[in-house]
Amino acid sequence: MKQTKVKFSSDKLNYSCNLMRALAHPLRLRILEYIDEHGTTNVNSIYNTLNIEQSITSQHLKILRMADVVSSERDGKMVFYTINYPIVEKANIAVQRFLGKIK
């Protein structure tokens, strides 16, 4: 059996999969659009505006946090979310390269 010359880092591949999975969900994209429009926002504002349940919103925010797409900061009982733009931009560049739109 012929060995491939391509080598993958298991850690980088797992991170990339989690990042793409986090960005590939329509509701998470709506949440990101909302955060982008408002800069910094909390879960209450997100679920009330988007008309989704608080628990579902929190689950999706957890996935985005774990992929480092959003950052969170606690202020008392409230948690505020912001987009980690450098990570989103890296994902965008990787997708564009994969599609052959940039080199």
What is the rounded average pLDDT of the residues 67-77? 94
Instruction: Report the distance separating Cα 93 and Cα 6, nearest Å.
Output: 21
**The pLDDT of residue 55:** 94
Cα–Cα distance list, 9 to 3, 15, 87, 90 (Å): 16, 10, 18, 17
Residue range 40-103, CATH number: 1.10.10.10
pLDDT digits (tens, 9 = 90+) for 75-100: 999 999 999 999 999 999 888 888 88
pLDDT digits (tens, 9 = 90+) for 11-59: 888 888 899 999 999 999 999 999 999 999 999 999 999 999 999 999 9
pTM, to two decimals: 0.84
> What secondary structure letter does DSSP report for 77?
T
The full set of domain ranges for the chain reads 40-103
